[in-house]
Amino acid sequence: MNFAGSFPGTRMRRNRYDGWNRRLVAENALSAADLIWPIFLCKGEGQRIPVASMPGVVRVSADLAAEHVAEAAALGIPAVALFPYTPIGERDEDGTEALDPDNVLCRAARALKAAHPDLGLIGDVALDTFTTHGHDGVVRDGYVDNEESVKILCRQAVLMAQAGVDVVAPSDMMDGRIGTIRAALDAEGLIHTRIMSYAAKYASGLYAPFRDAVGSEALRPDSKRLGDKKTYQMDPANSDEALREVAMDIAEGADMVMVKPGLPYLDIVRRVRDAFGMPTFAYQVSGEYSMIMAAVERGWLDHDRAMMETLMAFKRAGCHGVLTYFAVSAAKLLKAG
């Protein structure tokens, strides 16, 4: 019996028949050049400390930073993002450690730039890893003070750039900080230092493992901690507001913009990319990573498939690149073909 006439002339499955054909017609491609690897830095020497809530992730001391990123650089990952851990006893209410030119982030930046001059360094500009209360700015009368915080963030950004950081990445969500930081950098002759703005950063429940990694959860009991960051990070209910935030940061001089978290906010990534055509990045945050790894450890998900599928989702949404703790694992898999 002949059923040939019961199918249309076009069969979508034909181009899925062979692996080479699927590769040939793929609409998006992922490469190591799309990945930025966040790393955590700690004080001391010879330190490599596992982060309990992030399987496979460690904090490393500045003296081991160059060795730690060597594989990433060899795999063609273009940049690493630096996040410091400050012991609780060395924090204060105003995060003054952030303004020490010899703090762990600055020391690591100098070492990394000396050992890997072609590897991009992205430095986190915020005070949460330096304050006893864990907020991204300074607290005055029970409120995160915008103007005073911005003044400190400007000084922090300049110190990072002078230490060798190529891209300062304000993650604090204070109003007006991009323009003020740009002016401060230019005043110091740091005209080539780029700004990657955390332009649309949401008040998310997916940051908890990161706060464990940088020590912002186990704070001193006597600190004046407010409990959440909803007065400055964005409401997950809003998307039009994200476009306003991005537009303001671009107008103030941002060179690149970021959406954070990643997978739950791919609609925001697409809207930002379509609206502005700017280099647009997303952060596959710690909670996203840890959820996948927890499922992998229980045998519920295949590590490589889950990793690559989620990273491709960022590219499909329009990301130029993604900050991800999977960067090295993904780059190794891509290299293996």
Please, are residues 272 and 278 in contact by the beta-carbon 8 Å criterion?
A: yes
Location of structure tokens 């649309």: 200
Would you state the structure tokens that stand for residue 295, as one six-digit string? 């499922």
Would you state the structure tokens that stand for residue 309, as one six-digit string? 């599928």
Please name the helix (run of DSSP H) or strand (run of DSSP E) that holds residue 322, with its range, or none.
strand 321-324
- Can you count the helices (H) and strands (E) in the chain? 11, 12
Residue 168 burial (10 A CB sphere; 0-12, 13-18, 19+)? buried
Task: List the alpha helices (DSSP H) in 30-143.
Answer: 62-74, 104-115
Greatest alpha-carbon span in the chain: 83
| Residues designated catalytic | 201, 260
What distance in Å separates the CA atoms of residue 82 and residue 209, rounded to the nearest whole number?
16
Please, are residues 257 and 281 in contact by the beta-carbon 8 Å criterion?
A: yes
What distance in Å separates the CA atoms of residue 24 and residue 312, rounded to the nearest whole number?
16
What distance in Å separates the CA atoms of residue 177 and residue 197, rounded to the nearest whole number?
9
- Which residues are bridge partners to 324 per DSSP? 284
What distance in Å separates the CA atoms of residue 283 and residue 56, rounded to the nearest whole number?
18
Q: How far is CA 64 from CA 68, 254, 325, in A?
A: 6, 31, 18
What distance in Å separates the CA atoms of residue 236 and residue 267, rounded to the nearest whole number?
12
**3 state DSSP class of 258:** strand
